[in-house]
A and B are shown apart, each in its own frame.
Chain A
Amino acid sequence: MRKRNLWICSVMLWLSPCVTAQEPARATYDNLVSRFREARLARSAESTRIRQSHAYKKAVAEHDFTARQALLADLPDAEAAFKAKFEAACERFSGSHDEALFLGWLLENVRPPRGKASAYAVQLVERHAKHEIWKTLAPNAQYYFGSDPSKEIAKLRAATPFDEVKAWLRYATTSHVLRNKKSAAEAIATAKAEQASIVRDYPNSIPAMKIGASEFKKTRLQVGMVAPEIEGSDLEGHNFKLSDYRGKVVVLDFWGDW
C-alpha cells in the first residue's frame, strides 16, 4: 500500500510541471482577476472612508455636488489600471483558447465609445465564437455591438454549440427590436412571434422567464397575492426557501453592491 502511494506521488510530481505548463493562461487569468478584486475592495473601503468623513457629510448637507465630486475624484480607477495588464495578457496568449478569458474581462470592464461596438467583442466573435465564455456574455450581447448588433449576433448564433447561448442570442435580437421605439409594426410582430417560439424551444431557460415576466408580474406579483416561492442558495452556499420565513414579516430586497 505504502509503495503504491509513493508511486502515485512520484507520478504526480512528474506530471505537475506539465499541467502548469499547459495552463499558464488560466493561472495568469485567475491571478489578474484576484488582484483586480483586491484593487476594487481597496477602492470600496476608501470610498466608505471618504463618505463617512466630516468634509463629505458637510458637502452632502450643503447640497454641494462639486465638493462631493472633488472628494471622490481621487479614488483609484481599478478598471483603468488593469486594462493594460489584461491587454498585455491578450497579446501573450494570442491565438490560444484561453485568450477569450482576457478579452471577456476587457469587454465587461472597458466601455467602448457611445454607440460604437466594443473592439473586444468583435474580436471575441471573430476568434472565439464557439467558446464557453459566451454562456456568461450572451445575456448582454445586444449591448456589445453598437447600434446594430444583428450581424454579429447572427454570426455567434451560427457558431455556438451551446443551447443556452442560442436562447440568449435569439432573445437579444427580439429585445433589441422591442426596445427600439422606431421599430416597424411588422418587425415588432416578428419579434413577438420569435419570443413565443423561444419559450417553446427552451421553456426552462432564463430568456423564457424574461419573456414571461410581465405576465408573471400581472398574475403573481400584485399586492394581495401570496408571493411566489423562491428556492435557492445563500451567499455561503446553503439552500433555503422564502417560505421558511412564513410567520414573519419579510422585506424582500433585490440588491447589488454597486
Chain B
Amino acid sequence: MYPHERSLVKRLSKKPFALIGINSDQNLPYLQTRVAQEKITWRSFWNGPLGTSGPISSRWGVRGWPTIYLLDDKGVIRFINVDGESMDKAIDQLLAEMESR
C-alpha cells in the first residue's frame, strides 16, 4: 500500500489534491517511528488508543482496512473503496472535472 500512496502523493504534489489518512494503530510512539521508516508524508487523523475500536472508524462503520472514500473538491463522496489503477483514474477524473469548470 505505502509505495502506491507515496507515488500518488508525489505525482499529484502540484495539483489540488490531498491524501488524508485515518490511522487505527493503538500505539502512537510505535506508529510515529513507522511513519518515519516508511517515509509517510501525508497527514492522518489518529483514531485514538482504542485502535480499530476508536471513535472515527466506529462512527463511519468501518469494518475492513484499508477503506477508501474519494471526495471531490466540494467534499462530496464520489467513489467508495476504489484502489490501485482505478483509484488513480477516479482521482484524475475528479481533477479534470474541477479544471473544466
- A: residues with CB less than 8 A from B are 34, 37, 40-41, 44-45, 48, 136, 139-140, 206, 209-210, 212-214, 216-217, 221-228, 230, 232-236, 240, 242-243, 245-258
Contact = CB atoms under 8 A, between A and B. Distances in A.
Contact of B20 (A206, A210, A224, A253): A253
A248 B72 CA distance: 7
A206 B77 contact: no
A102 B24 CA distance: 23
Nearest to B28: A235
B34 interface: yes
A256 B24 contact: yes
A204 B4 CA distance: 37
Contacts of A242: 20, 75
A232 B45 CA distance: 6
A136 B58 contact: no
B90 to A, nearest CB: 9
B89 to A, nearest CB: 13
Contacts of A34: 29
Given A227-B76, A246-B74, A252-B68, A235 B18 contact: no
A41 B73 contact: no
A41 B57 contact: no
Nearest to B76: A226
Contact of A252 (B22, B65, B91): B22
Interface in B34-68: 34-35, 37-38, 43-46, 49-62, 65-68
B7 to A, nearest CB: 13
Nearest to B94: A249
B61 A41 contact: no
B54 A206 contact: yes
Contacts of A252: 20, 22, 68-71
Nearest to B48: A232
Given A221-B77, A247-B73, A249-B98, A254 B24 contact: yes
Secondary structure type dominating chain B contacts = mixed
Interface string B14-34: 011111111111111111111
A223 B67 CA distance: 14
Contacts of A136: 26, 49-50
Contacts of B32: 235-236
Contacts of B76: 224-227
**B20, B53, B68: which has the most chain A beta carbons within 10 Å?**
B20
27 contacts: A37-B29, A37-B30, A139-B50, A206-B53, A213-B59, A213-B61, A216-B60, A221-B69, A221-B80, A223-B79, A224-B77, A224-B78, A227-B76, A233-B46, A235-B23, A240-B43, A246-B74, A248-B18, A250-B19, A253-B21, A253-B22, A253-B66, A253-B68, A254-B60, A255-B65, A257-B23, A257-B38
A21 B28 CA distance: 28
A234 to B, nearest CB: 5
A45 B30 CA distance: 13
Closest 3 CB pairs of A and B: A213-B61, A139-B53, A232-B45
